[in-house]
Amino acid sequence: MAKMTVEDLPLEGKKVLMRVDFNVPIKDGKVGDDNRIVAALPTIKYVIEHGGKAILFSHLGRVKKEEDKPGLSMKPVAARLSNLLNKPVTFVPVTEGKQLEDAINQMNNGDVLMVQNTRYEDVKDGKYVKRESGNDPELGKYWASLGDVYVNDAFGTAHRNHASNVGIAQNIGAGKSAVGFLMEKEIKFLGNAVDNPERPFVAILGGAKVSDKIGVIDHLLGKADKIIIGGGMAYTFMAAQGKKIGNSLVEPDKEDVAKEIMEKAGDKLVLPVDNVEADAFKNDANTKVVEGGIDDGWEGLDIGPKSIAKFEDVLKDAKTVVWNGPMGVFEMPNFAKGTLAIGKFLGSLTNATTIVGGGDSTAAAKQLGIADKLTHISTGGGASLTYLEGKTLPGIAAISEK
């Protein structure tokens, strides 16, 4: 990897500004799921064990008005981090000014400080000004002035051009910014999978809309040996083939695009051969498995058993697999079977590099208890998609080259 990593930076006695992704669920003033905090621990521990002063920046939710702020404070996150590190974490309830500067200046080597939610900067004097989200040049410069070096370990926001990732990196100075271990791992696995895969390389793409994945399909057609399509977007392809799709989810304005993709892809594209259709969009609806098309008045909500078998046949010899998006309406148990079957099969592949990215695919892996059997579970849905499209991620581009 050409980017500097945290191991390339001088840390002893340095004020180390760190962008982490602690955008976690908060309920009743407590952190609900601390996976993202746990994922950043190796980098934080490395910094403090090497005598650095860790100054952490993260966003939490979306702050669009003053009333949003109290419920989106980083205070509960700092408390949870303190428990996980088994040491005090100083929480500073502001994002700029004397209180923050004094707290940083009072830090000793090995101390940890959590800055208030970076998106508090998006609202000033009651107005939605997007200083953080819009990468306000003065804000990036100010935050950079608070430290000596910068480490970005927040892959989940790497596709965003924000002050706390791009702004700080651009202003900290040449050779003074690096990626953390989590970010390094994401670049290694996703980058190698797409640009230097062991073959056969199979991509599995699901989810509701073709429009969300056009760029990804297009980019991967030149990289992958096979692309499996499932989920709601499969019905747009079915419609483009002239098949009946009943009341299934469809993007009529994308049927021409789907036709073009099919013509370009040839036998690279693997589509479902049967579907589970329902007479209503609810878990306890009447269902049946159909081939060829969806009946009038019914809607396709999952792939059928023959599609599962077909997809598994394509996957069985794969050496690299990237999976993004569910095969059906995963949140309803009766239509999660296709997604869970594919996840289970991926967990059984012992000689392949298996990479999962995206909320529902990740949830399926965890629900099946196969997370530890997969090579890598990406921490950033939007960022992984941007990466799979072959696009530049601003948060990574801004980091110093080795």
- Active site members: 36, 209, 359, 382
- Kind plus residue range of the DSSP H or E element containing 22: none
130: its two tokens: 């997007």
Is 331 marked within a binding site?
Answer: yes
Is 335 marked within a binding site?
Answer: no
Is 147 marked within a binding site?
Answer: no
Is 358 marked within a binding site?
Answer: yes
Is 222 marked within a binding site?
Answer: no
Residue 140, Cα to own-chain centre: how many angstroms?
A: 24
Q: How many CB atoms lie within 10 A of CB 197?
A: 21
Is 300 marked within a binding site?
Answer: yes
120: its two tokens: 């508090």
- Kind plus residue range of the DSSP H or E element containing 261: helix 255-265
Sign of CA dihedral 183, 159, 360, 388: negative
Is 21 marked within a binding site?
Answer: yes
Q: What is the rounded radius of gyration, in angstroms, for the C-alpha atoms of the chain? A: 23
Is 80 marked within a binding site?
Answer: no
Is 122 marked within a binding site?
Answer: no
Specify the amino acid at residue 349.
L
Distance CA 11, CA 50 (A): 6
9: its two tokens: 């930076």
Distance CA 63, CA 295 (A): 45
Helix/strand/coil for 85: helix
Helix/strand/coil for 347: helix
Is 62 marked within a binding site?
Answer: yes
Is 199 marked within a binding site?
Answer: no
337: its two tokens: 């079977």
Distance CA 218, CA 215 (A): 5
Q: Which residues are annotated as a binding site for ATP?
A: 213, 300, 331, 358-361
Q: Which residues are annotated as a binding site?
A: 21-23, 36, 59-62, 119, 160, 213, 300, 331, 358-361
Q: Which residues are annotated as a binding site for substrate?
A: 21-23, 36, 59-62, 119, 160
Q: Which residues are annotated as a binding site for (2R)-3-phosphoglycerate?
A: 36, 119, 160
